[in-house]
Amino acid sequence: MSQKEADLVAAQPTEPTTRPSTRHKFRTRDKRILALRQFAISITILTVVGQWFLGFEQAWAAPVAGVLTGYVVELLMESVEAWSRGRRPYYAGGALAMVDFLLPAHISGLACALLIYGNSRVLPTVFTVAVAIVSKYVIRVRIDGRPRHILNPSNFGIGLTLLAFPSVGMLQPYMFVETLSASVSWIVPVVLLTLGTMLNARLTGRIPMILAWLAGFVLQALVRAVLQSHTAFLGEIVTMAGATFILYTNYMITDPGTTPHSRRGQIYFGLSLAATYGVFMALHIVFAFFWALTVVGLVRLVWYSGRNHLPTVAALFRTRRMTAGADSAVAAAS
């Protein structure tokens, strides 16, 4: 073999000795995936322990139906979107990729089943979860150049269900501890608060928003107690000790995908949420938790939609000014 032939052989690309793994790795540094896994595990444990030992008011059929509905609707919507865009579905990457993809649906299914009460009916839970999942694919806005859902899915589904079905209500705090005596029932809110705070501090980074929401909640209760003689301050803030409030605070409003990332944005979000809640309560509108989060989410939706269209409007005005200037120049020349 001549030197020239040897150089050509050496220049040929060689196959790597080890092929890169295409499997979805279990160990990941993606905080979003880690947070979803931790939240899914914690809310699953809460559901199982609550149904077996704490005496949750709902039947087993509610969380089971919620989770299965979430899985089916999530897979269906993702398949349709992937087909319409000509891309590979996000769940097509192995068993673990499928599990990670279904984590949001799992959390939404259990959260909706935990927070609404349809008595012996399962269909309200199915409807709530289906609306929650579909809203992620339908109600989107472009943020930082990428389309994202901006309304909290579980909250939106619960709100629409409460609006559509007057016979469906919100689960009351005592319904989480039916089999416990008053002397030990306080343990459940403490455990929920501890676990939720740890998860948010480690993974979601939403502690500033939680603190702003809590401070705003106390402030709006104080303002209403001063302005409304029938409002008792202690009676308002005692709500914060209930399991429903803690679940709402640590597991719903802290959704990283539908809340601001900056510290300032989180503080504004938390304070706006508390102020909106106070307005609804002052107007004697029930289920104010869910309406407040929906309204704040809609305001963000309008804000981002308007900001995305501002460059187009500005370009339109510039074009009109240039056209007017050209017409003036032509008229002056003639």
Quote the pLDDT of residue 129: 98
Cα(82)–Cα(35) distance, rounded to whole angstroms? 25
Q: Which of 47, 105, 43 is nearest to 71 (CA)?
A: 105
Give domain status of residue 159, yes or no. Answer: yes
- For 141-168, the pLDDT digits (tens) are 888 778 888 899 999 999 999 999 999 9
* Look-up of token digits 């299914």: 109
Give domain status of residue 190, yes or no. Answer: yes
Give domain status of residue 168, yes or no. Answer: yes
Provide the number of structural domains found in the chain. Answer: 1
- For 228-286, the pLDDT digits (tens) are 887 789 888 888 988 889 989 998 999 988 999 999 999 999 999 999 999 999 999 99
118 in Cβ contact with 63 (< 8 Å)? no
317 in Cβ contact with 182 (< 8 Å)? no
Give domain status of residue 11, yes or no. Answer: no
Quote the pLDDT of residue 232: 85
Q: Which of 276, 216, 264 is nearest to 240 (CA)?
A: 216
Give domain status of residue 295, yes or no. Answer: yes
- For 72-118, the pLDDT digits (tens) are 999 999 999 999 999 999 999 889 999 999 999 999 999 999 899 98
Q: Does the pTM of the predicted model rise above 0.95?
A: no
Contacts of 57 (CB under 8 A, 6+ apart): 117, 171, 175, 176, 178
Confidence bin at 35 (pLDDT 50/70/90): confident
Give domain status of residue 316, yes or no. Answer: no
Contacts of 160 (CB under 8 A, 6+ apart): 128, 131
What average pLDDT does the chain have?
A: 83
Give domain status of residue 333, yes or no. Answer: no
The domain that contains 285 carries what CATH number? 1.10.3430
Q: What percent of the chain has pLDDT over 90?
A: 49
Cα(226)–Cα(173) distance, rounded to whole angstroms? 26
Cα(179)–Cα(56) distance, rounded to whole angstroms? 8
pLDDT exceeds cutoff 70 at 137: yes
184: domain range? 31-310
Q: Within 10 Å of residue 224's Cβ, how many Cβ atoms? A: 18
